[in-house]
Chain A
Amino acid sequence: MALLNFFRPQAINDSPQTLDYLLDSLEDVVLRIRDNDQLDYVNRCWTTLTGSSKEESLKRSLPSFIHPEDITVWQQAVNDIAEQRNSHLIWLRVMTADEELRWCEMRVQSMEQNNLYPLSATLCDITPQVRADQVRNASHRSLNGLVNGIPAMIYRARNNLSWSMEYISDGCEEVTGYKAGQLMNQPQLSYGSMIDPQDAGEVWRQVQQAIENHADFEIKYRICDANGKRKTVIDKGCGIYSANGSVLGVQGVIFDTGL
């Protein structure tokens, strides 16, 4: 609380002994906001973030820097502070002078016990993290779209007679007539039970032989799909092994041959 007293205008000068000097050395933005959301104090990092000088910034309100779609986030935070009197953490986009956007994590609170204003806030530029998340999400989304868009059933299964599925792509429906969710970890319905009884033994034998040899397998066999239709599929896959060589499961892709 003693530190906050240094926010008073008379404490602002460039002397190395002042708090202003200290605040300008920070890599986070420090703001003081008075009523009408008018900016009352900004440190040097704010200028670095927004590209707007201190003088220019102090003539403007904080919402004029916030992306229009995020202003409601700011308003909601102020309302919550007015009701609950505690600090709030929000994410919002700040618009820079060169029209770029910076994602910021803002912590904001009232400076006085009994008054909403002035508010003090710190902003941390989290744009790199947000961008990294976006790239990760886009990569996952793209891979998901790729796997589920292939007209075949990509799978990872346990190495048992039921071939209990841990993961199945959306192509499952095209091959088996069942949706992926119907076959995953469902004890009452297994892929193994769909394999023609005349072929099931041979499928098991060939897969186990391939696993034993750490080789791939490619098997053609018949299944009975959800509509009771018999069809021939090609199953190409391999075993999944732990570092010590024990078998964790099998994975592969199953194509409908159209026969």
Chain B
Amino acid sequence: MVVRRRKATGMAQDLPYQDDAENRKSGGNRMTVSAKQYSGNPLQWLRSWLSQERTGNVRQPVADYAGLALELSACRNEQELMPLLASLQQRLRQIFFDCSEADSALLLPLSSSEQDGNLQLLSNSGLSPALQQTLLSQAQQAGRRISAGQPAATLRLANGSAQGAALLLPLNCAGHSGWLLLNFRGLHPTSERVSQLTSALRQALTQGLGIYLRHRQAVQQAVRDERAAQAAELHDSLAQVLGYLRMRTARLQSLCHSELCVNGQPVQEYADDLATQTLLAYRQVRELISTSRLRLREETLDHAIAAAIAEMEQHSAIVFELDNRCPQLQLSQPQLLQLSYIVRESLTNIVRHSYASHARIRLSQRHNQLRLRIEDNGRGIHPDEARADSFGLKIMHERAQRIGARLAIAPRTQGGTCVELTLADSK
């Protein structure tokens, strides 16, 4: 088998690359295919082939490594990445065709686990688990010593099976150190030659994996940001109410055990307060849930407002008018989220409480300052009539504060109510 491969390689060297492609399609019987297509004198070719140096004779594939880089960069997760890395074996066989046992190759980029000193085995050529462990261990130590500037490092295999050698070639993918590990168990080229022959492949790996890793980092950062935003919302809303409830329930508990409880009056006050605050907590949880749903649906503020209007129109005879004077408005995700909430809450209040026939939502922008004005021609707002268990306006103010906006809710001079929000640093 070894001899046949060597012969075939020598012949293939003299042939154009497309013969190799056809050979691969035909199942790898390179000698048969090449001999069929070779049109010169066979004796002359044999003499030429015999005169060539046989040890470590390698050939450079004419492969489109840009395609590999693109495929790697398009991967969304490790499940998509693994088959691509596994397919590297085929490319390595093309490069080191003359090295009988050069089909053992591992790719070992260090990802986030680098800090822990662990290497990740991203592709596996079917090596035995023991040899894998040995190579990993060796690479772990050698990887610390070699830098991207060095061509390669040769690993010594402790199990004594190394008639060839294992080479560690450095990669630098978006700040992540990594190595391409090649294991030769037979004849092999020098480390400089291996480094030279794999330079195009390593460059493609560096580019493709670099983009993949940067994308993965961006996704992870987005998830972290989202969690942080949710935690901040919980902290600002529900956590505060629960903390208050905890104190009040403790006080209520002690009152129930004291003599003050005899006439029941203080207990009644605490119970009422607890009921109100529990309702507030319940309302805040509902808002958080609905806000999370809002985030998924609308991408721009005018779409969010239009969706809210469409929803309200189904349940009332009020004429809603959207006057958007800044159609190119750009908002950050938190700004969009909070403004969408405030609009939705305002429109809900108009439908529920205003007795209005018209409502207008106006968006205008001047000197980088966004102004959102929601007004109706209803009976107006009366602070004295505010119910103790109504928290809509309080939550609207909290939402505005969270994005650094100023919110004013006041009666209109012509009748009705006006909610005006000013956001200083809209993009």
Contacts and interface: CB of A to CB of B under 8 A. Distances in A.
Contacts of A67: 323, 325
B322 to A, nearest CB: 9
Interface string A25-69: 000000000000000000000000000000000000000000111
B324 A69 contact: yes
Nearest to B320: A138
A67 B323 CA distance: 9
Contacts of A139: 317
Interface in A92-143: 95, 99, 101, 131, 134-135, 137-139, 141-143
A145 interface: yes
A113 B327 CA distance: 36
A141 B357 CA distance: 13
B208 to A, nearest CB: 43
Contacts of B318: 138
B317 A134 contact: no
Contacts of A137: 319
A99 to B, nearest CB: 7
B313 interface: yes
Contacts of B313: 138, 141-142, 145
A142 B317 contact: yes
Given A67-B325, A68-B325, A134-B321, A99 B364 contact: yes
B326 interface: yes
Nearest to B302: A69
Contacts of A135: 319, 357
Contact of A145 (B315, B319, B327, B364): B315
Contacts of B316: 142
A142 B315 CA distance: 6
Contacts of A69: 324, 327
Interface in B313-363: 313-321, 323-327, 357, 362
A91 B115 CA distance: 66
Interface string B353-383: 0000100001010000000000000000000
B317 A68 contact: no
Nearest to A143: B317
A138 B327 CA distance: 25
A99 B182 CA distance: 72
Count class of interface residues, chain A:
10 to 19
Interface string B37-55: 0000000000000000000
Contacts of B326: 68
Contacts of A101: 323
A68 B320 CA distance: 19
A240 to B, nearest CB: 25
Nearest to B323: A101
Contacts, number: 37
Contacts of B325: 67-68, 95
Interface in B290-317: 313-317
Nearest to A133: B319
Contacts of B314: 141, 145, 149
A101 B360 CA distance: 11
A195 B113 CA distance: 72
Contacts of A149: 314-315
A54 B317 CA distance: 40
Contacts of A99: 362, 364
A151 to B, nearest CB: 15
Contacts of B320: 138
A99 B223 CA distance: 42
Contacts of B317: 138-139, 141-143
Contacts of B324: 68-69
A145 B317 CA distance: 9
Nearest to A136: B319
Contact of B319 (A68, A95, A134, A143): A134
Nearest to B317: A142
A134 B317 CA distance: 10
B350 to A, nearest CB: 13
A69 to B, nearest CB: 6
Contacts of B319: 131, 134-135, 137-138
B263 to A, nearest CB: 49
Contacts of B327: 68-69
Contacts of B357: 135
Interface in A154-175: none
A96 B135 CA distance: 78
A69 B321 CA distance: 13
A131 B316 CA distance: 17
Nearest to B314: A145
Most buried by B among A68, A95, A139: A68
A41 to B, nearest CB: 26
A149 to B, nearest CB: 8
A143 B313 CA distance: 11
A214 B284 CA distance: 55
A68 B315 CA distance: 30
Contacts of A142: 313, 315-317
Contacts of B364: 99
A101 B318 CA distance: 18
Nearest to A140: B317
Contacts of A134: 319, 321
A137 B314 CA distance: 12
A145 to B, nearest CB: 5
A131 B319 CA distance: 9
12 contacts: A67-B323, A68-B324, A68-B326, A68-B327, A99-B362, A131-B319, A138-B319, A139-B317, A141-B317, A142-B316, A145-B314, A149-B314
Given A99-B362, A139-B317, A141-B313, 17 more contacts: A67-B323, A68-B324, A69-B324, A69-B327, A95-B325, A131-B319, A135-B319, A138-B317, A138-B319, A138-B320, A141-B314, A142-B315, A142-B316, A143-B317, A145-B314, A145-B315, A149-B314
Closest 5 CB pairs of A and B: A142-B317, A134-B319, A145-B314, A138-B319, A138-B317
Interface of A: 67-69, 95, 99, 101, 131, 134-135, 137-139, 141-143, 145, 149
